Amino acid sequence: MSQESSTAYLAKHDLERKIADAVAAALKARPANPLEFIGKYLLPKVSMEVTTVVTKPIAGQKPGTSGLRQKTRTFMGESYLQNFVQSVFDALVSEGVAVKGGTLCVSGDGRYFNSTAIQIIIKMAAAAGVTRVWCGTGGLLSTPAMSAVIRTRDPAGGAAPIGGFILSASHNPGGIDEDFGIKYNGENGGPAPEKLTDKIYKNTTTIAEYKICSGLPDVALDAPAKHKLADGFEVVVFPCVEDHVALLKKVFDFGAIKKLFERKDFSMIYDSMNGVQGPYAKAIFYGEFGAAPGSCINAEPKEDFGGHDSPSHGHADPNLTHAVELVAAMGLNKMGLPIETPKPPPSFGAAADGDADRNMIMGSKFFCSPSDSLAVIVANAQCIPWYKGGLKACARSMPTSMATDLVAKKLGIPFFEVPTGWKFFGNLMDSGSAAFPNSPSYIPFICGEESFGTGGDHVREKDGMWAVLAWLQILAAKNTDPSKPLVGVADVVMAHWAEYGRNYYARYDYDGVDKAAAEKMMAAMVAEQPKLIGTTINGMTISSADMFEYNDSVDGSISKNQGIRFMFSDGSRFVFRLSGTGVVGATIRLYLEKYTPPTGDLSLHAFDVIKPLGEIALQVSKLVEFTGRTEPSVIT
């Protein structure tokens, strides 16, 4: 071999060795996820160029108590979602929130348009200067799980999240012809305060442009992975159940609950209603407690929650009307009356709504109203490890029955009556913190509302799974001896009534009412209130009447026009309120309550007891005359 050919030969093999070494090093350092490996080593770098898109305001983008909700096709319209998201980012910047360089969480309840909306928000977050976006696998996070993630997830790189977008319309039906929604939760994990939502809305009325990194690729959300899309920007996909389940294991004694499941006389059925709760239900009831196969029904999230052909007609709302399969399995009809069943009902039943922040509790042929559920949980809170030192306060929304008031009085703890909307509870949960240093601390704290929402201070949202586990913890505490008969839901509730009395309670919903007509009805009632005080109608005397106003003792804010109240001399009352959760027309809610002391008849059916009160309410309100509606859409 010549000197020249020898040199060429060595050079060639030296180059091959260097290439081999480089490939070996790359393979050694490669991510476990093949998609990330491809993106890091084989694909060209993506563009982080920010595109500014000219737009104009779109009417009606005012967030309600649970964010912005509209028909799905409306959200899919040109610039509708983008306008709102940009308005949120602009409001956050004006409030001094460190959006640039921040970490943001984005996920939803899996309804139609969820995945597409997530990809749009990721690209807009990059344009806003966010450096890291967190997403649950499948783009899924229940509403309480989102709060848990914001509050507890170990932040990568030490950057705590600035907040998160929840893509959900809660219990409203899902599908391309149904509803979609979005709301922003802040760094405490709770819904944006009114001050911020007012700024967001103002921005939607003046917006002229939005910014987006349209050159970024869509991110695969189907498996946990870290996607580094460009220098200074990444999307982290994590298991959607891990943070929430980990937090709940700190709140409750899972070992004690598992022993309850080991009893041969205990059985349960849990209905996720094809909403986001399915993965959480299976992880907890099957994975942690060893529940029998078939205990979790409708546990696969679907974009339309099962659709119109399902028993619930795609309406993932945990109540007697819509949770058809669960209610029948527990031996009741939609009025809560017992029916014959082909086999004995399970001893415990529960359901969740689309985004899993609501709950329904049932026993064998027994329905526990949300108001009673809250009162029972507060009365028995000390059997739950998180509250073993005792509660410092509790609260309910104004329309919720006054059953919890009686418990708070006996416990000697502060009690609060707040407007509908979880953000009011959030202030009480953050009392005494750095956000409100001049307020006394009211935690540990439990709260709830009649609309099937209950929760504690572990997160800043209502938490359907928390409520179910609270009940299971109470049942576990009352069933420590397997040789004794099972103490069930009905036993616990009836013992509670025997001690505190019973607040017979029901709610009538009138959906899709002409909004102008509903507002005229409400205004007319307010005008008539002074004249009606002291009058007697159908044998019942009105002792007081007002429009509820809330003075927040934590932040000093005042919330007016929160519902019309009529109180009677025997302690009964009815309340009218316009709901902000619908997307078509207005929803009028009528709340009816009559108290019976422990010495009275506690065994009557609630709808029978409050019916005469409902007749008085319809007479006073002139609802039929104003709206033309003679029957409620739903009674719960």
* Residue-wise pLDDT tens digits, 397-407: 999 999 999 99
Return the number of other C-beta atoms located less than 10 Å from residue 264's C-beta. 7
* Crossing angle of the two packed helices 403-411 and 370-379, in degrees rounded to 10: 10
Contact of 508 with 590, CB cutoff 8 Å: yes
Tokens for 9? Answer: 């030969």
Contact of 162 with 187, CB cutoff 8 Å: yes
The mean of the pLDDT values for the chain is 92
Residue labelled with tokens 């409203």: 172
CA atoms of 318 and 358, how far apart (whole Å): 7
CA atoms of 487 and 248, how far apart (whole Å): 24
Select from 239, 261, 291 the last residue of a domain. 239
Contact of 274 with 311, CB cutoff 8 Å: no
Q: What is the mean pLDDT of residues 56-70?
A: 92
Return the number of other C-beta atoms located less than 10 Å from residue 560's C-beta. 9
Residue 266 maps to a domain: yes
CA atoms of 108 and 185, how far apart (whole Å): 12
pLDDT band, residue 571 (cuts 50/70/90)? very high
Return the number of other C-beta atoms located less than 10 Å from residue 605's C-beta. 13
Sheet with 564-568, strands from edge to edge, namely 536-537, 540-547, 564-568, 573-579, 586-596, 502-513, 634-635
Coil, helix or strand at residue 595:
strand
State yes or no: pLDDT of 527 exceeds 60. yes
Tokens for 126? Answer: 């990059």
Residue 425 maps to a domain: yes
CA atoms of 134 and 154, how far apart (whole Å): 12
pLDDT band, residue 4 (cuts 50/70/90)? very low
Which pLDDT score is estimated for 45?
A: 60
Coil, helix or strand at residue 228:
strand
* pTM (two decimals): 0.90
Residue 472 maps to a domain: yes
Residue 422 maps to a domain: yes
* Crossing angle of the two packed helices 489-500 and 464-477, in degrees rounded to 10: 80
Sheet with 415-418, strands from edge to edge, namely 415-418, 393-397, 445-449, 453-456
**Segments forming the whole domain that contains residue 22:** 4-40
- For 247-290, the pLDDT digits (tens) are 999 999 999 999 999 999 999 999 999 999 999 999 999 999 99
| Whether residue 24 is found in the same domain as residue 85 | no
CA atoms of 69 and 63, how far apart (whole Å): 8
Q: What is the mean pLDDT of residues 103-112?
A: 98
Percentage of residues of the chain with pLDDT beyond 70: 91
Determine how β-strand 366-368 pairs with β-strand 393-397.
unpaired
Residue 402 maps to a domain: yes
CATH of the domain at 624: 3.30.310.50
DSSP string spanning 358-380?
A: BEEEEETTEEE-HHHHHHHHHHT
444 upstream amide cis, omega within 30 of 0: yes
State yes or no: pLDDT of 548 exceeds 80. yes
Select from 500, 525, 540 the last residue of a domain. 500
Which pLDDT score is estimated for 568?
A: 97
pLDDT band, residue 480 (cuts 50/70/90)? very high
| Whether residue 345 is found in the same domain as residue 488 | yes
Q: What is the mean pLDDT of residues 559-563?
A: 94
Contact of 138 with 224, CB cutoff 8 Å: no
Q: What is the mean pLDDT of residues 63-70?
A: 88
Residues 6 or more apart whose CB falls under 8 angstroms from that of 608 comprise none
The count of domains in the chain is 4
DSSP string spanning 453-478?
A: EEEETTSSS--HHHHHHHHHHHHHHT
pLDDT band, residue 47 (cuts 50/70/90)? confident
8-state DSSP, 40: I
Q: Which helix (H) or strand (E) holds 544?
A: strand 540-547
Tokens for 513? Answer: 């009412």
- For 422-472, the pLDDT digits (tens) are 989 999 999 999 889 999 999 999 999 999 999 999 999 999 999 999 999
State yes or no: pLDDT of 540 exceeds 80. yes
| Whether residue 378 is found in the same domain as residue 431 | yes
Select from 224, 239, 254 the last residue of a domain. 239
Which pLDDT score is estimated for 432?
A: 93
Residues in a beta bridge with 564: 547, 576
pLDDT band, residue 3 (cuts 50/70/90)? very low
Percentage of residues of the chain with pLDDT beyond 90: 87
State yes or no: pLDDT of 183 exceeds 60. yes
Residues in a beta bridge with 566: 545, 574
| Whether residue 225 is found in the same domain as residue 370 | no
Closest by Cα among 195, 180, 49, 166 to 104: 166
8-state DSSP, 100: T
State yes or no: pLDDT of 100 exceeds 70. yes
Residue 543 maps to a domain: yes
| Whether residue 29 is found in the same domain as residue 121 | no
| Whether residue 451 is found in the same domain as residue 350 | yes
Backbone angles phi, psi at 19, to 5 degrees: -65, -45
Which pLDDT score is estimated for 435?
A: 87
Closest by Cα among 455, 467, 471 to 260: 471
| Whether residue 137 is found in the same domain as residue 174 | yes
| Whether residue 291 is found in the same domain as residue 303 | yes
| Whether residue 573 is found in the same domain as residue 600 | yes
- For 239-253, the pLDDT digits (tens) are 999 999 999 999 999
| Whether residue 128 is found in the same domain as residue 273 | no
Determine how β-strand 225-230 pairs with β-strand 233-238.
antiparallel
- For 486-518, the pLDDT digits (tens) are 999 999 999 999 999 999 999 999 999 999 999
pLDDT band, residue 65 (cuts 50/70/90)? confident
Query: Which residues are designated catalytic?
Result: 170
| Whether residue 546 is found in the same domain as residue 459 | no
CA atoms of 251 and 244, how far apart (whole Å): 11
pLDDT band, residue 8 (cuts 50/70/90)? very low
State yes or no: pLDDT of 9 exceeds 50. no
- For 194-216, the pLDDT digits (tens) are 889 999 999 999 999 999 999 99
Residue 46 maps to a domain: no
Q: What is the mean pLDDT of residues 541-562?
A: 94
Which pLDDT score is estimated for 520?
A: 97
pLDDT band, residue 579 (cuts 50/70/90)? confident
State yes or no: pLDDT of 37 exceeds 60. no
CA atoms of 509 and 317, how far apart (whole Å): 13
Tokens for 336? Answer: 């809560």
| Whether residue 530 is found in the same domain as residue 597 | yes
Q: What is the mean pLDDT of residues 598-611?
A: 95
What is the rounded (10 degree) CA torsion for 325, 321, 353, 182? 140
State yes or no: pLDDT of 336 exceeds 60. yes
Radius of gyration of the chain (CA): 27
CA atoms of 163 and 104, how far apart (whole Å): 6
Which pLDDT score is estimated for 14?
A: 59
Cα distances from 79 to residues 61, 109, 178, 209, in angstroms, run 12, 22, 19, 10
Residue 412 maps to a domain: yes
